Amino acid sequence: MLHGYGSSILDGAWLTINLALTSMSMAIALGLIGAAFRLSPLKWLAMLGEGYTTLIRGIPDLVLILLIFYGGQDLVNRIALALGYTRYIDINPFIAGVCTMGFIFGAYLSETFRGAFMAIPKGQAEAGLAYGMGGAQVFWRILVPQMIRFAIPGFTNNWLVLTKSTALISVIGLQDMMFKAKNAADATHEPFTFFLAVAALYLMLTSLSLLVLRYLEKHYSVGIKAAEL
């Protein structure tokens, strides 16, 4: 059915999963930092965090991918040349993809995390401090566990969008399943077959993700009574 390209597309699917997971790890880190900046009492930090999210929301993902890959590669080589290194440096498409997707979705997650932290009653942190806990203890042992419950719905949406957006990274040469499917389609002149297979793989991945994230949402909502209308 796939004319021998099935294993190649599955290899690309594994690379796609690695790209999505690595990018989301970076996005979570940047999202937490961005949320901390937005909630900071220091005005310049709050403005920096707001500028980050405004920048990302105003530029299309594909433009950022091309800008970071080609522009970043040019910048790295200019710096290397200024330092006396004359060999041309190629940026790995996987690294460029991770940095781009992580940077983009870090901005979106910063809004998710900011809203989640703001949903926690202020008295929670004050009670922790009153019991003699340090600021770091209050953050990790009181605020973060409660923040997760509020953040999961928004996180789920961002994860699904990120997973689907990984298909864009194929434009810079990353041999993910979209790249492999296009090559197979060009070779066999059967684009519908291979792109349908990729669509099915993306649907399987997002459906499995939904099951896992819904389980986590229930897990972190244990002991919380839902409002009855």
Q: Does residue 223 belong to any structural domain of this protein?
A: no
Check residue 228 and give its pLDDT.
42
Amino acid found at 182: K
- Residue 226 reports pLDDT greater than 70: no
The tokens describing 125, both together, are 């942190």
Q: Does residue 30 belong to any structural domain of this protein?
A: yes
How far apart are the C-alpha atoms of 41 and 35, rounded to whole Å?
A: 12
Confidence of residue 223 (pLDDT cuts 50, 70, 90): low
Q: Does residue 155 belong to any structural domain of this protein?
A: yes
Amino acid found at 180: K
- The alpha-carbon radius of gyration of the chain (Å, integer) is 21
Q: Does residue 229 belong to any structural domain of this protein?
A: no
Q: Does residue 210 belong to any structural domain of this protein?
A: yes
Cβ neighbours of residue 52 under 8 Å, at least 6 residues apart?
Answer: 34, 37, 106, 107, 110
Would you give the DSSP letter of residue 207?
H
Give the position of tokens 């901390």.
36
Confidence of residue 157 (pLDDT cuts 50, 70, 90): very high
Q: Does residue 225 belong to any structural domain of this protein?
A: no
Name the residue among 168, 206, 209, 205 with its Cα closest to residue 13.
Answer: 205
Which segments of 39-143 does DSSP mark as H helices, in order?
A: 43-58, 61-66, 72-82, 93-118, 122-130, 135-137
Domain extent at residue 68: 6-218
Q: What is the mean pLDDT of the chain?
A: 89
How far apart are the C-alpha atoms of 188 and 132, rounded to whole Å?
A: 68
Q: Residue 80 sits in a domain of what CATH number?
A: 1.10.3720.10
How far apart are the C-alpha atoms of 62 and 66, rounded to whole Å?
A: 6
- For the stretch 87-121, pLDDT in tens is 888 888 899 899 999 999 999 999 999 999 999 88
- For the stretch 115-131, pLDDT in tens is 999 998 888 888 888 88
Check residue 1 and give its pLDDT.
65
Q: How many domains does the chain have?
A: 1
Q: Does residue 110 belong to any structural domain of this protein?
A: yes
- For the stretch 48-69, pLDDT in tens is 999 999 999 888 888 988 888 8
How far apart are the C-alpha atoms of 169 and 51, rounded to whole Å?
A: 25
Q: Does residue 41 belong to any structural domain of this protein?
A: yes
How far apart are the C-alpha atoms of 159 and 83, rounded to whole Å?
A: 40
CB 129 within 8 A of CB 175: no
Cβ neighbours of residue 74 under 8 Å, at least 6 residues apart?
Answer: none
CB 203 within 8 A of CB 163: no
CB 168 within 8 A of CB 61: yes
pTM passes above 0.75 = yes
